[in-house]
Structure 1
Amino acid sequence: MKIITKTADLDAFCKECATQEYVTVDTEFLRERTYYSKLCLIQMAYKGQGNENAVLIDPLSNGLSLDPLYTLFKNESVVKVFHAARQDLEIFFVDKGVIPSPLFDTQVAAMVCGYGEQVGYETLVRKIANEGLDKSSRFTDWSTRPLSDKQKTYAIGDVTHLRVIYEHLKASLDKSNRAAWVDEELGILTNPGTYIVEPDAAWKRVKTRNGSGKMLAYVRELARFRENYAQAKNIPRNRVYKDDALLELAATKPSGMDQLKKSRLLLRDARGGSIADGILKAVKAASQVKPEDFPKAPVQRVKKQGTDGLADLLRVLLKASAEEAGVATKLICNTADLDAIASGERDLPAFSGWRKKVFGENALQLCDGKIALSANKDSVKIVKI
């Protein structure tokens, strides 16, 4: 099993990959103690059998530059194949601002091909490659060196079996003319905005029952400081203070160190030093926000009375449509969107692109009373009225 620790060797391998139709990629990383993921291992392979044409790349090696890899990621003639790519892509984007292109995500493709919702890699290996995986090394410490043989075997399997899975799913998509469906779904993954966390918007992820503008002003300032501090120190935001402590601070509004130390929920490290100073400054800044500048709580969807029956019918239609198309229901429409459709909303993903043809058009006709649903033992059928 080849392990790359030198830039020259990585450059040579990436040049080999540049002559291929596709490469499979995976990573191992740690994030429990840091804000940003710590990249510990990169696995790559191109067409071949077993461990042939597959390598492990050790980014922790002294002097190893990943520039040849990023050059390959920008090569538009080679498809980069991942499974559940979001966290992998975030690592590369944060490190170098690069998103591999063109991209293929086998988890997304599997949902389009009828393998269920957010299907795991192990399931696809079993169903498509007819192989088993030993997942016991999944949660090991990937930053330790040397890597054990068991870790190496586990890691390399994440890209060797992926070749078989990719080729199978690609053939299925080509046969059903659904490759464009996958490309449409990859829009979020290939959007740089997906991986940028703006401290100014950090308050939106904090769940609070008090939606008053004044309260949200304190939540915003405290969340902004926490995000900036966590990014600067590269520690998890919960290591600064947790959401419940943030909400306590937003409610008590401490103006001095004595009041701050009375907090029940703050971690010990946050009761003094730079974190405590930052908290007090955030509270002061929030107290000076003018009412016209208060943040506004996200608009909540209001479910109209009397639409439960229609929503239930839409759920039946969705399930029938998904089964007929061989696509995971979650990929077409979620429960909240079904309730919104029943309540009259139309600016939704279900009414654009491939979803409109599979489900959206019939959903509109059902809402307008132009079709009905008929059930028998085996299926649900659409009946025109």
Structure 2
Amino acid sequence: MITITTTDALAEFCSEAANHPFVTVDTEFLRERTYFSKLCMLQLAMPGTDDSNAVLVDPLADGLSLEPLYELFRNTDVVKVFHAARQDLEIFWVDAGLFPKPLFDTQVAAMVCGFGEQVGYETLVRKIARQPLDKSSRFTDWSRRPLTDAQKRYALADVTHLRQIYEYLAAELDRSGRAHWVAEELQVLTDPATYDTRPEEAWHRIKTRSQSPRFLGIVRELAAFRESYAQDNNVPRNRVFKDDALVEIASTKPVTHADLSASRLLQREARRGAIADGIMAAVKRGMELPSDQLPREDKSRQRPQVNPALADLLRVLLKAKSDNSGVAAKLIASASDLDDIASGMRDLPALSGWRREVFGNDALRLCDGRVALAVKGQTVTLVDL
């Protein structure tokens, strides 16, 4: 097993990889104690049938720069293959402001090719590569050095089997004509907005019972402070203070630090110093916001009344379309999507792009009363009216 620890060695590997049609990529990282993921290991493999074309890259090695890898990522002649790429891509976007192009995600492709919802790498290795996979090192501390041989074998297997999986799925997509379906899904993964966490929008994630504009204004200010503090100090937002403490503070509206210390839910570390000062300032801002600047419940986003019978029919239709196409039902439309369609909403992903081909067109025909569902044996069919 080759472990690259210098920029020159990484550049040599990436230069050779640029001569191949694809390269498989995976990462090992830690995020339990940080806001941003800490990259601890990088695995790369060129086409081949053994480990000779695969390497481990140690990003924690002194002086190692990932710029040769990023140059390979910019090379549009080489497909960069990942499995469940979202967290990997976030690392590269935060570090270098780029996405690998062109990109192929085997988890997305597998869902389109009939392997079920959110299919795991281990399942694909077993079903496509016909190999066992040792996952005993999955939850080890990848920041500790030296790495054990077991860790290295585990990490390398995440890119060596991926080569065969990619070649199989790419051939299936070509055969079925569904490559553009995967391309549509990957547009979301390579959209910077997917990874852009704006502090002023963080309050939307907080579950609250009250819709009072003043209360929501304080929640917004507290959530913005927490998000900014977490980003600036690279700590998880819940290490600053948890959601339940945020809601409690927004309800009690502490005026002094003594009031803040009376909180039942606030962690001890947040009752003093910069966090406590930030909390008090956020509450004050929320209390002083003019009425016209307070957040209010967005009634335009409220769903109209759902037709429950129509929603049930759409569920039957979705199941039939999923079975017929071999595409995971949740990839086509969620339960919430079906309720939205049954309530009359039309600006939905389930009714656009490849989903419209598979499900959306017939769903709209069903809603308009132009078709009915019929059952013949084990098969659900559409009948024109």
User: Where does the alignment leave 5 or more consecutive residues of structure 2 unmatched?
Assistant: none
In structure 1, the partner of 2:59 is 59
Query: Separation in 1 of the partners of 2:17 and 2:286?
Result: 53
Three-state SS of the structure 2 residue aligned to 1:226 is helix
Query: Separation in 2 of the partners of 1:56 and 1:349?
Result: 39
Q: 1:303 to 1:335 in 2, by over 3 A?
A: farther
Query: Separation in 2 of the partners of 1:309 and 1:123?
Result: 37
Three-state SS of the structure 2 residue aligned to 1:187 is helix
Q: Given residue 326 of structure 2, which amino acid in structure 1 is its aligned partner?
A: G
In structure 1, the partner of 2:86 is 86
Three-state SS of the structure 2 residue aligned to 1:128 is helix
Shift of 1:354: 1.3
In structure 2, the partner of 1:304 is 305
Shift of 1:203: 0.7
Query: Separation in 2 of the partners of 1:356 and 1:280?
Result: 50
- What RMSD in Å do the two structures reach over aligned CA positions? 1.0
Query: Separation in 2 of the partners of 1:350 and 1:157?
Result: 35
In structure 1, the partner of 2:220 is 220
Shift of 1:295: 1.4
In structure 2, the partner of 1:204 is 204
In structure 2, the partner of 1:324 is 324
Query: Separation in 2 of the partners of 1:314 and 1:97?
Result: 41
Query: Separation in 1 of the partners of 2:130 and 2:302?
Result: 45
Shift of 1:52: 2.2
Q: Give per-residue Cα distances to partners, 1:115-139, cap 9 Å, x unaligned.
A: 1011000001111110111111000
Shift of 1:98: 1.2
Query: Separation in 2 of the partners of 1:196 and 1:365?
Result: 37
Query: Separation in 1 of the partners of 2:265 and 2:116?
Result: 41
Q: Given residue 214 of structure 1, which amino acid in structure 2 is its aligned partner?
A: R
Three-state SS of the structure 1 residue aligned to 2:373 is strand
Three-state SS of the structure 2 residue aligned to 1:89 is helix
In structure 2, the partner of 1:180 is 180
In structure 2, the partner of 1:378 is 378
Query: Separation in 2 of the partners of 1:224 and 1:344?
Result: 34
Three-state SS of the structure 1 residue aligned to 2:40 is strand
Shift of 1:303: 4.9
Query: Separation in 2 of the partners of 1:317 and 1:207?
Result: 33
Shift of 1:296: 2.7
Shift of 1:355: 1.1
Query: Separation in 2 of the partners of 1:75 and 1:359?
Result: 36
Query: Separation in 1 of the partners of 2:40 and 2:75?
Result: 24
Shift of 1:260: 0.6
Shift of 1:376: 2.9
Q: Do 1:301 and 1:340's aligned partners in 2 also have CA atoms closer than 8 Å?
A: no
Provide the aligned length of Structure 1 versus Structure 2: 384
Structure 1 stretches (4+) deviating beyond 3 angstroms?
297-301
Shift of 1:298: 4.4
In structure 2, the partner of 1:266 is 266
Q: Do 2:24 and 2:45's aligned partners in 1 also have CA atoms closer than 8 Å?
A: yes
In structure 2, the partner of 1:246 is 246
Query: Separation in 2 of the partners of 1:254 and 1:104?
Result: 51
Structure-to-structure mapping, 1:1-385, within 5 angstroms: 1-299=1-299, 300-304=301-305, 307-385=307-385
Q: Given residue 330 of structure 1, which amino acid in structure 2 is its aligned partner?
A: K
TM-score (norm 2): 0.98
Q: Between the two proteins, what is the percent identity of the paired residues?
A: 62
Q: Given residue 361 of structure 1, which amino acid in structure 2 is its aligned partner?
A: N
Query: Separation in 2 of the partners of 1:354 and 1:64?
Result: 42
